[in-house]
Chain A
Amino acid sequence: NAGVTQTPKFQVLKTGQSMTLQCAQDMNHEYMSWYRQDPGMGLRLIHYSVGAGITDQGEVPNGYNVSRSTTEDFPLRLLSAAPSQTSVYFCASGELRVSVETQYFGPGTRLLVL
């Protein structure tokens, strides 16, 4: 199993550009989520999904869109990037039957918005 994979590993954007951060998992987990990690802030939840076709907002959803068309994939879209979105983004997945207490994290995408 590859676990949770994220692409790209690093990206530089200009203000106003759009992009999609990819996340995939091969563990058949129902639950998937996106976090951002900022210095001195810990991790904050952006969006999450409890199954294909079901998504919901986390703590900091503004400026981000998600969709879940398959169990495996959970892409995060930035429609118009802003410097405030410079961060490290982590995708995570977990099994709903254990109440997602054990979440498996991907290696992260480092995003710089100029």
Chain B
Amino acid sequence: GDSVTQMEGPVTLSEEAFLTINCTYTATGYPSLFWYVQYPGEGLQLLLKATKADDKGSNKGFEATYRKETTSFHLEKGSVQVSDSAVYFCALKVAGSYQLTFGKGTKLSVIP
């Protein structure tokens, strides 16, 4: 079946540090890839997405590149802020399916 593996948290960084959250996947078909973010007490919000190999998704300073050869979609940000503290979920959806398959989430805490 489809699955998403992302790095275990929690991750604690100082403000302005570089962020990488690793995500790898296995898929039964051709997947679209997503990063969702969940701020404390809220539902999930789509952060960025990529629908084909070598596409780069970007939003709010976050980036992730769809790497088919390594089945990866790592999330990066060059300089994190305290307001980026949240739980980040990597997810995939296979073409023709309605179902999103999520990773377990990575909690990020950014300290001043």
* Chain A residues near B (Cβ < 8 Å): 4, 31, 33, 40-45, 48, 50, 56, 58-59, 90, 92, 99-103, 105-108
Chain A, Cβ-Cβ closest to B96: A99
With A and B bound together, what is the CA distance between A33 and B102 in angstroms?
14
Contacts of A99 in B (CB 8 A): 32, 93, 95
> Is the Cβ of A48 less than 8 Å from the Cβ of B98?
yes
Contacts of A59 in B (CB 8 A): 99
> Is the Cβ of A107 less than 8 Å from the Cβ of B99?
no
**Centre residue among A40, A42, A99 by max chain B CB count within 10 A:** A42
Q: How far is the CB of A5 from chain B (nearest CB, A)?
A: 11
Closest 10 CB pairs of A and B: A105-B43, A42-B102, A42-B104, A105-B44, A43-B102, A107-B43, A106-B43, A45-B99, A102-B46, A42-B103
